[in-house]
């Protein structure tokens, strides 16, 4: 297939996005929405149908005349959305249009390193495809959120504070090497040979996209896509660590190098004696995260290995745990008050494991923000817990992948895929 010009790719992307948003779902309405001729729309729609991105279904009911066929995104175009945390992996298969196909969650240790962790993602993907009775050829993208800074363009993890062994690792390289091509099994590590023996190595088309971003960015994008009434949103994850995803005027803001939102390492005055794993002292993450609260509770003689134990103790009504969580809320509120005055969001959404304690955490965060931030900045500000809960990460990963696949750049890659792989 010959290369397509930029204007043609932009038109294909526009048509696919109009269908995805249900803005225009017939050829005639696409022509009206884009200003293209019916012949131009027909040519482009036929190409998208041929390549397995769009399908035409039952006719749309009309008062008179021949009813037109309705267009929708193909259900056999799949996305594998992955939310990797410090101690958990949630993986979901969805269609390009966002319909859930299969999902699983398991415990992990992100410090096992990239090879072992991504080998687990690979195995889980194969298991979900088998459970859903879907062939590997249907998979169009892996979209992965990781709990550390990411150079988004290359998918490279850069100096992550809590991901031992991941620094400088380019995540897409794992899939390019072990999922898209076959290799000599004798040249692999034991983990990788196990994957080959299970029959899941080299099974995906080489044009499959691999997107990687910080996990909180994925969560922020998922929450924004779910509600859409907040154009300027801060998503605050309070779990093993503390991070922030930034939506500015409806767009995910990553900053110049992808480090925007790393608020966990903003210092809190008066805590210079608390060492953070980043090497500095007094970071809000070292003082008020789920792991920091658990550490304080252990020092008080309570059984708290991590954030889950914090939630359990508070839910049981333990007064020491409740006081410690409320103190953490005040400390986090101090940092967020500055962010509110600086960014002026219309919504702050709290997520992560500790956000389950919204009655104990949210009230103190709200109190500090409304007391410390500028009145104009808080006049229309809503502060609430996540509507998506633990699924924010995979929801955001799936939506981010869909947006990429339907962009001109993504459309070009999909159209270069052999027809046999696209529609079988």
Residues 231-250 have pLDDT tens digits of 999 999 998 889 999 999 99
* Long-range contacts of residues 15-19, Cβ cutoff 8 Å, at least 24 apart: 15/41, 15/44, 15/45, 15/48, 16/48, 16/53, 16/54, 16/73, 16/406, 16/411, 17/406, 19/54, 19/71, 19/72, 19/73
Kindly report the CATH class assigned to 6-73. Answer: mainly alpha
Predicted confidence at residue 3, as pLDDT, reads 57
d(CA 180, CA 164): 26
Residue 321 backbone phi and psi in degrees, to 5: -65, -40
Predicted confidence at residue 104, as pLDDT, reads 96
Same fold, 78-216+393-423 and 231-387: yes
Burial profile 388-410: b = 16 or more Cβ within 10 angstroms, e = fewer: bebbbbbbbbbbbbbbbbbbbeb
Enter the tokens of residue 365.
């965060």
Q: Across all residues in the chain, what is the average pLDDT?
A: 88
Predicted confidence at residue 191, as pLDDT, reads 47
376 pLDDT tier (thresholds 50, 70, 90): very high
Predicted confidence at residue 102, as pLDDT, reads 96
R_g (Cα) of the chain, nearest Å: 23
Question: How far apart, in Å, are the Cα atoms of 395 and each of 96, 216, 380?
Answer: 12, 12, 26
Predicted confidence at residue 66, as pLDDT, reads 63
pLDDT per residue as tens digits for the range 113-122: 999 999 999 9
1 pLDDT tier (thresholds 50, 70, 90): very low
Mean pLDDT to the nearest integer, 369-373: 94
Predicted confidence at residue 347, as pLDDT, reads 96
Predicted confidence at residue 39, as pLDDT, reads 93
Q: Does domain 78-216+393-423 have CATH number 3.90.190.20?
A: no
133 pLDDT tier (thresholds 50, 70, 90): very high
Predicted confidence at residue 131, as pLDDT, reads 95
Topology of domain 231-387, per CATH? Nucleotidyltransferase; domain 5 (3.30.420)
d(CA 329, CA 308): 17
The domain ranges of the chain are 6-73, 78-216+393-423, 231-387
pLDDT per residue as tens digits for the range 65-74: 566 788 999 8
75 pLDDT tier (thresholds 50, 70, 90): confident
Predicted confidence at residue 63, as pLDDT, reads 58
Predicted confidence at residue 205, as pLDDT, reads 81
Predicted confidence at residue 424, as pLDDT, reads 45
How would you classify residue 208: left for phi > 0, otherwise alpha for psi between -120 and 50, otherwise beta? beta
121 in Cβ contact with 89 (< 8 Å): yes
The pLDDT of residue 199 is above 80:
no
Burial profile 369-381: b = 16 or more Cβ within 10 angstroms, e = fewer: beeebeeebbeeb
The pLDDT of residue 294 is above 70:
yes
Mean pLDDT to the nearest integer, 205-224: 93
Residue 211 backbone phi and psi in degrees, to 5: -110, 140
Question: From the centroid of its chain, how far is CA 220?
Answer: 8
pLDDT per residue as tens digits for the range 305-324: 988 899 999 999 999 999 99
- Lowest-confidence region among 185-189, 277-281, 367-371, 382-386: 185-189
Helix ranges, 74-189 (H):
114-131, 171-178
Rounded percentage of the chain residues whose pLDDT exceeds 90: 67
- Sheet with 233-238, strands from edge to edge, namely 251-252, 242-248, 233-238, 347-351, 382-385
């Amino acid at each position: 297939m010959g290369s397509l010009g930029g204007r043609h790719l932009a038109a294909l992307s526009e048509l696919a996005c109009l269908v995805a948003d249900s803005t225009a779902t017939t050829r005639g309405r696409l022509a009206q929405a884009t200003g293209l001729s019916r012949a131009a729309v027909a040519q482009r729609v036929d190409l998208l149908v041929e390549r397995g991105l769009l399908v035409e279904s039952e006719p749309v009911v009309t008062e008179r005349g021949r009813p037109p066929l309705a267009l929708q995104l193909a259900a056999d175009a799949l996305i594998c959305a992955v939310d990797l945390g410090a101690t958990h992996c949630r993986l979901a298969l969805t269609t390009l249009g966002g319909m859930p196909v299969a999902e699983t969650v398991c415990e992990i240790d992100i410090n096992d390193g990239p090879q072992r962790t991504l080998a687990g993602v690979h195995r889980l993907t194969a298991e979900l495809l088998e459970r859903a009775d879907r062939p590997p050829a249907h998979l169009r993208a892996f979209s992965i959120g990781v709990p550390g800074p990411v150079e988004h363009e290359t998918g490279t993890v850069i100096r992550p504070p809590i991901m031992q062994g991941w620094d400088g690792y380019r995540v897409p390289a794992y899939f390019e090497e072990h999922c898209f091509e076959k290799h000599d099994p004798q040249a692999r590590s034991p983990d990788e040979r196990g994957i080959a023996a299970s029959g899941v190595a080299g099974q995906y088309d080489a044009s499959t996209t691999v997107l990687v971003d910080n996990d909180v960015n994925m969560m922020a994008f998922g929450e924004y896509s779910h509600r859409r009434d907040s154009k300027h949103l801060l998503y605050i994850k309070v779990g093993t660590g503390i991070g922030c995803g930034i939506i500015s005027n409806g767009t995910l803001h990553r900053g110049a190098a992808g480090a925007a939102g790393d608020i966990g390492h903003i210092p809190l005055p008066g805590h210079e004696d608390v060492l953070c794993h980043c090497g500095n002292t007094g970071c809000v993450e070292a003082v008020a995260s789920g792991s920091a609260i658990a550490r304080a509770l252990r020092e008080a003689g309570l059984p708290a290995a991590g954030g889950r134990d914090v939630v359990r103790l508070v839910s049981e009504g333990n007064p020491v745990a409740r006081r410690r969580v409320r103190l953490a809320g005040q400390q986090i509120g101090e940092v967020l008050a500055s962010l509110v005055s600086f960014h002026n969001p219309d919504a702050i959404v709290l997520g992560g494991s500790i956000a389950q304690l919204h009655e104990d955490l949210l009230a103190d965060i709200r109190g500090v923000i409304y007391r410390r931030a500028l009145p104009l900045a808080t006049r229309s500000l809503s502060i609430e817990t996540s509507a998506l809960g633990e699924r924010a990460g995979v929801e955001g990963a799936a939506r981010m992948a869909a947006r990429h696949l339907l962009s001109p750049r993504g459309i070009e890659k999909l159209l270069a895929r052999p027809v046999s792989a696209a529609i079988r």
